[in-house]
Amino acid sequence: MKVLVVNAGSSSIKYQVMDMTNESVLAVGLVDRVGIPGSTLEHKPLGKDEVVIKKDLPDHTAGMELVLEVLVNPEYGCIASMDEIGAVGHRVVHGGEAFAESVVIDDHVKKVIRDCFDMAPLHNPPNLMGIEACQRLMPNVKHVAVFDTAFHQTMEAPHYMYAIPYEAYEKYGIRRYGFHGTSHFYVAHQAAEMLGKPYEECKIITLHLGNGASMAAIKDGKVIETSMGFTPLEGLVMGTRSGDIDPAIVFTLMDKYGMDSQEANNYFNKKAGMLGLSGVSNDLRDVLEAAASGNERAQIALDVYYKNIKGYIGKYVAYLNGCDCIIFTAGVGENAIDVRSNICKDMDALGIIMDEEKNNVRGKKVDVATPESQVRIFIIPTNEELVIARDTYRLSN
């Protein structure tokens, strides 16, 4: 059976077709500028050249229609007819407290996704648009929702409650949810295999370091805590997000700059992080390059970035009362040699000792700890689409 994986953003649709008989990827693609003049579709079929199609796509339905046309195109498509697609897996960012697992989408599931619009205003509305467009175009197959929040639903109250009036939780669902769940799930299971231990007996710290970044502490097969909170703004320093700050900074700057809540949201989500602090870029490669050529602000930004992650590792070792492995994944974690090296520097008191030579790799599944390191240091390329495809395949059968 073949599964179509769809990740619909506000103005983009990422997709992938997977053959579940051997979990091979038949095609990947991206529709960009949905609803904005100048829409494009980039489609890369397995073993063939990439195709780029320019065509204005007023909405997600038009975008998905073009994707389906491309998938069956005799020249550059990857399937003979749409009948080959047995199910569609949709990435959905927020499932609130309702879903601890992936689910087949029905009217109730769509209502919950809609109920979570307030908590994920940038993500859940386009996720639902993607689902509804696909359901209209493929009414005869099962559609499955795979939530970013689901894996973290094992957290217990001391780890998900904030010390604010309890009523805010009861009335508005203000609590820690956590995100990037499919990535943390995937690499944690891979790590258990590398450790040669049952997953349910491992103490694991995952570091998903991409443009967005989060960590999770996993014990006995359950997420104990994760660094993103009520929204993906909390936790680590990210490309454009501040991560942890004193909340008083928010209302102080709202007063100073005369910002309303929308503008403040934009400021801390889009203008802060590595971009705001370094003044160089949200892309860590640019910040590393600037720091190497003597830019002091870039160096400070990097040092804040490293310090924050080291702090979370220490905190998570305490929560787990030990640690079998830490895992680096996502764009930065898989590729940035210096970043991994700086994070693991002077961590021997926690049993973390890196072999700098082994660490000199990018994008490979390896252990880069020294033999005497008590904690293994794994680099594991993440594969969120595979998790979505597997859940979709399982639930559609």
Give the catalytic positions in this structure: 148
Q: 283 or 348: whose CB is closer to ligand ADP?
A: 283
Task: Tell me the window of 41-49, 91-99, 226-234, 281-289 that interacts with ligand ADP (CB under 6 A).
Answer: 281-289
Nearest to 126 by CA among 32, 219, 43, 9: 9
Task: Tell me the window of 64-72, 224-232, 279-287, 347-355 that interacts with ligand ADP (CB under 6 A).
Answer: 279-287
Nearest to 330 by CA among 265, 384, 389: 384
Helix then strand then coil, in percent of the chain rounded to 5, is 40, 20, 40
* Alpha-carbon separation of residue 252 from 247, 259, 260, 262, 304 (angstroms): 9, 10, 12, 15, 22
**Rounded to an integer, what is the distance from CA 259 to the centroid of its chain?**
29
Q: Is 140 exposed, middle or buried (0-12, 13-18, 19+ CB in 10 A)?
A: exposed
Judged by CB under 6 A, which of 191, 313, 331, 375 binds ligand ADP? 331
Contact between 354 and ligand ADP (CB under 6 A)?
no
Q: 63 or 331: whose CB is closer to ligand ADP?
A: 331
Using CB positions, name the residue nearest to ligand ADP. Answer: 331
Contact between 283 and ligand ADP (CB under 6 A)?
yes
Judged by CB under 6 A, which of 78, 336, 352, 377 binds ligand ADP? 336
Q: How far apart are the C-alpha atoms of 157 and 221, rounded to whole Å?
A: 17
Task: Tell me the window of 11-19, 198-206, 224-232, 280-288 that interacts with ligand ADP (CB under 6 A).
Answer: 280-288
CB 282, min distance to ligand ADP, A: 6
CB 332, min distance to ligand ADP, A: 4
Please, are residues 391 and 146 in contact by the beta-carbon 8 Å criterion? yes
CB 314, min distance to ligand ADP, A: 23
CB 268, min distance to ligand ADP, A: 17
Judged by CB under 6 A, which of 229, 239, 243, 273 binds ligand ADP? 239
CB 281, min distance to ligand ADP, A: 8
CB 152, min distance to ligand ADP, A: 17
Q: How far apart are the C-alpha atoms of 369 and 323, rounded to whole Å?
A: 13
Task: State the sign of the Cα–Cα–Cα–Cα dihedral 160, 161, 162, 168.
Answer: positive
CB 283, min distance to ligand ADP, A: 4
Contact between 299 and ligand ADP (CB under 6 A)?
no
Q: Which of residues 206-235 bind ligand ADP (CB under 6 A)?
A: 210-212
Contact between 243 and ligand ADP (CB under 6 A)?
no
Task: State the sign of the Cα–Cα–Cα–Cα dihedral 96, 102, 108, 114.
Answer: positive
94, 87, 42, 384 alpha-carbon torsion, rounded to 10°: 50
E-state strands within the chain: 2-8, 12-19, 24-32, 40-45, 51-54, 85-92, 103-104, 142-147, 203-209, 213-219, 222-226, 325-329, 366-367, 376-379
Q: 77 or 232: whose CB is closer to ligand ADP?
A: 232
Contact between 335 and ligand ADP (CB under 6 A)?
yes
Judged by CB under 6 A, which of 48, 136, 271, 285 binds ligand ADP? 285
User: 31 in helix, strand or coil?
Assistant: strand
Q: 221 or 276: whose CB is closer to ligand ADP?
A: 276
**β-bridge partners, 87:** 3, 142
244, 250, 256, 261 alpha-carbon torsion, rounded to 10°: 130
Contact between 280 and ligand ADP (CB under 6 A)?
no
Contact between 332 and ligand ADP (CB under 6 A)?
yes
> How many residues line the site for ligand ADP (CB under 6 A)?
13
User: Which residues form the interface with ligand ADP (CB under 6 A)?
Assistant: 210-212, 239, 283-285, 288, 330-332, 335-336
